Chain A
Amino acid sequence: MGFVIATETAARQATIWSHVRICASLAAAGFRRYSTYRQATIAGAATNITFGLLRTYVLLAVAGGTAAGLAAGYDRAQLTTYVWVQQGLMVVTLIWGWFDLGDRIRSGDVVIDLLRPVPPVLAYFAADVGRAGYAVLGRFVPPVLVGALVFGLYRPARWYTVPLFVLSAALALVICFAGRYMVNATAFWLLDTRGIDFAWVLASGMLSGLYFPLRFLPEWFTLTVWIGTPFPSILQAPADVLVERVAPGPTLLIVAGQAAWAAVMMVACVVVQHRAERRLVVQGG
């Protein structure tokens, strides 16, 4: 049948370009994978929009109760934009509800991931970028459109705000992916990761600025959380960049901080994966 060309694959050296092509095909597969579930996309977007309305009215009520009509320094347009962009971004970054890796570790299917010639962190990240791409279309655009139609959105004054927001959102995806990956990877050590999952949901909701802008809290606390944890970099940072909440200099600092967190988290992710592989005991037969 002549299946083997033994030297063929061995001779094909890995290049950066070949890795890019592998990642692109995995990302495309990630996009297609999620795009097969259109009803789930519609249902999810409807839920996001419902909660978006709730959050907006609560925050507008807070702002309306102040003399200047500002809540923690955000005006009405900034607040609505903050909410609706986050309603989309929470799905683009997939801050909650990703258990793929943990499930594969528990079932032992992770062994298949290890038998592929692509490092697992890279393969999962590439697929996640594809998923995020689909989420931009299916889960980011609809709530932002609804927000724009019902409340109107903030118009950035600086020319570079939108490109900087795109960069900030991309860094948020990297940070969030790495966090999720490590939470899932605890299944290599703990068979039941529900406690860790719950801690992630609680911390990421509270400290990322999803429930309310972190600037509502005392400054020392906000600063500590912002510098000491990756969570504000996931949702608070991109929203603040887009609504131009702070001056240009501090805005750039916010993005630089995200870049630093992205690097730290990805390195940590690779280290965790490496350690997990070293002590690998695959479940089941």
Chain B
Amino acid sequence: MIISVRGLRKDFTVRAKAGRFRRERRVVSAVDGVDLEVERGELLGYIGPNGAGKSTTLKMLTGVLVPSAGRVRVCGLEPVARRTRLARRIGVVFGQRSQLWWDLPLADSFELLRHVYRVPAAAHAGRLARCRDLLGLDEFAGRPVRQLSLGQRMRGELTAALLHGPEVLFLDEPTIGLDLVSKQAARSFLAELHRAGDTTIVLTTHDLADIERLCERLVVIDHGRVVHDGSIEALHARYGSRRRVVVDLEAPLAGPPELPGARLESVAADGLRLTYALTGATAGEVVARLAGAGELRDLSVVEPDIEDVVGRLYAAPTGVP
């Protein structure tokens, strides 16, 4: 396992005013007993609502925050005690922070990082060439970082995090604030990186499209606890997300038919649009039965929506929708 976490906790002491002179101390658990095992080459989505403990976990995994309890190993190292050594073996991208030198051209930052991480010139040049190719850096590599657009800067950040050939790449909201084209570029790059299979990627994001397109495994954290660890399909199966069949009829039926293996979810447009959630039947069976009951004008099959199930997961007080 390249990342191994057992019983990870982080407690913060919060002081609140409790009278004219009195202050009350309260212990808040930002991370409350997280267990996590990540294999080399995995691409893991680590999601949760604001304040769930995602970034706190990431900080403990990278060695910049001391855990209150639990055991953490990243690349076989204890992050806090071996932070400097670990720094050579991991890459980190924080969507809202920059590791580039603000006043210098992007290319200078890359060259500087080569020295800071003591990367052999040939390896550095090879990785940089791949990033230039995949992320289209050439058009703005000569410009100072402060003059780059957010999308350009983020492409620079991704490159900067990879130039020393990290075994694990931690990404904390890397697509925050990006436009669609830049998001797409970042996603394609990460997908390509994952396909190569030698970099483990831990991705924290609020953009569920990132998760859907990139992650095979999803860990959902809420109130500091892991409430789901598995595939997106497993999440849908566990929380009852269903595929849906939506049909538009030529004329309303006298009463929407009850169908075995499907549940009528809604009737709209004066009875002309029916939506059925599939609870066992196939889409074909449902469509065939509906076609038998009345003339169909249009139909569509809607895949389960990750936004929907995750939204319900976040809203539920115990993390169970």
Binding site for B on A (CB under 8 A): 1-6, 8-10, 12, 14, 18, 21-22, 24-26, 29, 32-33, 36-37, 107-109, 111-112, 114-119, 123, 278, 280-282, 284-285
Contact = CB atoms under 8 A, between A and B. Distances in A.
Interface stretch (B119-127, B213-221, B226-234): B119-127
B39 interface: no
A8 B64 contact: no
Given A1-B192, A108-B97, A25 B167 contact: no
Contacts of A25: 111-112, 115-116
B195 interface: yes
B164 A114 contact: no
Nearest to A9: B88
Given A5-B165, A111-B97, A117 B84 contact: yes
B144 interface: yes
Contacts of B89: 6, 9-10
Contacts of B55: 285
A9 B119 contact: yes
Contact of B92 (A115, A118, A284): A115
Contacts of A4: 165-167, 198-199
A3, A25, A26, A37 — most chain B CB neighbours (10 Å): A3
Interface in B44-90: 50, 55, 59, 62-66, 83-85, 87-90
Contacts of A118: 84, 116
User: Which 7 pairs show the lowest CB-CB distances between chains A and B?
Assistant: A25-B115, A1-B196, A117-B87, A4-B198, A9-B88, A33-B103, A4-B165
Nearest to B133: A1
A278 B63 CA distance: 11
Contacts of B290: none
A22 B59 CA distance: 25
B88 A280 contact: no
A8 B87 contact: no
Given A3-B127, A3-B130, A8 B165 contact: yes
20 contacts: A2-B198, A3-B127, A3-B130, A3-B166, A4-B165, A4-B167, A4-B199, A9-B119, A22-B118, A24-B115, A29-B101, A32-B104, A36-B104, A112-B94, A115-B64, A115-B83, A115-B87, A117-B87, A278-B66, A280-B64
Interface of B: 12, 50, 55, 59, 62-66, 83-85, 87-90, 92, 94, 96-99, 101, 103-104, 108, 111-112, 115-120, 123, 127, 130, 134, 144, 162, 164-167, 192-193, 195-196, 198-199
B101 A114 contact: no
B118 A18 contact: yes
Given A29-B104, A33-B101, A117 B115 contact: no
A111 to B, nearest CB: 5
A3 B199 contact: yes
A32 B108 contact: yes
B115 A21 contact: yes
Contacts of B193: 1, 3
Given A33-B104, A36-B103, A117 B117 contact: yes
Nearest to A18: B118
A1 to B, nearest CB: 4
Contacts of A117: 84-85, 87-88, 116-117
B165 A3 contact: yes
B320 to A, nearest CB: 25
A60 B50 CA distance: 64
Contacts of A1: 130, 134, 192-193, 195-196
B64, B117, B123 — most chain A CB neighbours (10 Å): B64
Contacts of A112: 92, 94, 97-99
Contacts of B94: 111-112
A57 to B, nearest CB: 37
A10 B88 contact: yes
Nearest to A33: B103
Contacts of B104: 29, 32-33, 36
A8 B98 CA distance: 26
B170 to A, nearest CB: 9
A181 B79 CA distance: 26
Nearest to A6: B167
